Amino acid sequence: MKIRKKHNLTERDVDRIIEMAWEDRTPFDAIFTQFGVKESEVIDLMRQEMKKSSWKMWRERVQGRKTKHMKQRNFDEGRFKCSRQKQITHNKISKR
């Protein structure tokens, strides 16, 4: 609760931070740029907002992950985009 107050985060902001933290290719720097929340604060926020088992699973996934840290990434710009991304809607592949 104290991170929410410190950064004046709405429920929607917290949901978006959690979503960004779960995404493999979204770095903590992007969360900081958008919301002003540091990596350690994101970790604390995730711990507060998630079930213990979910938090442990997330923490194992992101610990040491190169894509979550801008300085460790091996690419400078752009995002990964599936070649079929335009064809996928509502989690279904559209007919061709």
Average pLDDT by consecutive 10-residue portion of the chain (96 residues)? Answer: 84 90 84 90 91 89 68 52 50 49
Domain assignment present for 45: yes
Does some domain include residue 7? Answer: yes
pTM of the model: 0.66
CB neighbours of residue 45 within 10 Å: 23
Number of domains within the chain: 1
* Residue 81 maps to a domain: no
pLDDT at 2: 84
Q: Please list the alpha-helical segments (H only) found in the chain.
A: 2-7, 11-22, 28-35, 39-49, 52-62
Confirm whether 78 is domain-assigned: no
Q: What is the pLDDT of residue 85?
A: 46
Residue 88: in which H helix or E strand, if any? strand 88-89
Domain of 6 in residue numbering reads as 2-73
Domain-located, residue 8: yes
Any domain includes 92: no
**pLDDT for res 26:** 83
